[in-house]
Amino acid sequence: FRSTTTWPQWAPVVARCYEHIALVDHALLTILETLDRLGLSENTLVIYSADHGDLLAAQGGGFDKGWLLVEETMRIPLALRGPEVAAGAQNGALVSNLDIVATVRDIVGARASAPTDGQSLMPLAQNPDASGREHLMLESHGHYGQKVIQRMLRFRGWKYVAHLGDRDELYDLAADPYELKNVAEDTDLRDVRREGQSRLLQAMDESDDTAPDALALRAQIETQLGAASEDVTSA
């Protein structure tokens, strides 16, 4: 979509956002300094995160989170501080906010009463070179009166998005971090798209994604994979 809002109209909104970020940073610093002053830092794990990002004029002039599976809304801040966390280290592994619960359980030694999709972040926090998941699936069912069935998969620096009843998306996030060029129809990247489709079906299996709309999307992807195989055979 394309917004009719001009940059002079967006500028104060963006400025307000930066002010809010500065406010949160200051509040977080106050919390950390208080923990230090009370002598609690060596026995406390601090996890700083959020539930979603914000478009903030990106992707054609969007605002808030919406139903788009774009990096601006899907990527969230995530920082850990604690006695077992490598200070100042960064790790680019694929993680989910579902991992926060698994991390807390890991720290306190609690077990889950049933299987979960979350994984403890502590191995990544302790070793910046540690690897995480091979792929990560996110999903959207639409809101604000729009029913949009989507599944997105991140893998090997690529991003594949399947839309029920609409065209696929494929982005090379290393070369195109703002997702400006959809290369799903690029014949030279046919194998990458097929890998994304196959991995997405695997991720749907792993999460028991069997809602009626999910089954319809699965059938759509399987049909595309079958057609792609026929094209390769014909070639």
Please give the domain boundaries of the chain with CATH numbers for all domains: 134-235 (3.30.1120.10)
**Beta-sheet strands, E only, within 28-176:** 46-49, 78-81, 135-140, 150-155, 158-163, 169-172
Instruction: Say how far apart CA 217 and CA 147 lie, in whole Å.
Output: 13
Complete edge-to-edge strand list for the sheet that includes strand 150-155: 135-140, 150-155, 158-163, 169-172
Instruction: Say how far apart CA 29 and CA 80 lie, in whole Å.
Output: 13
Question: By 3-state DSSP, what share of the chain in percent is helix, strand and coil, each rounded to 5?
Answer: 40, 15, 45
Task: Let me know: does 48 contact 79? Beta carbons within 8 Å.
Answer: yes
Instruction: Say how far apart CA 168 and CA 110 lie, in whole Å.
Output: 41
CA distances to 104, 133, 160, 220 from 217, in Å: 34, 23, 14, 5
Reading the block at residue 45, the tokens are 């794990």
Helices (H) and strands (E) in the chain, counts: 6, 6
The helix/strand/coil state of 170 is strand
Instruction: Say how far apart CA 70 and CA 62 lie, in whole Å.
Output: 11
Task: Report the greatest alpha carbon distance in the chain.
Answer: 71
Burial 157-174 (b: 16+ CB within 10 A, else e): ebbbbbbbeeebbbbbee
Residue 100, pLDDT score = 95
How many residues in the chain?
A: 235
Cα 116–Cα 146–Cα 1 angle in degrees, nearest 5? 105
DSSP state letter for 189: G
Task: Let me know: does 68 contact 87? Beta carbons within 8 Å.
Answer: no
* pLDDT tens-place values along the chain, 235 residues long: 566 778 888 889 889 989 999 999 999 999 999 999 999 999 999 999 988 877 776 776 666 676 778 888 888 889 999 998 988 888 889 999 999 999 999 999 998 888 888 999 999 999 888 888 999 999 988 766 667 899 999 999 999 999 999 999 999 999 999 999 999 999 999 999 999 999 999 999 999 999 899 999 999 999 999 876 666 555 5
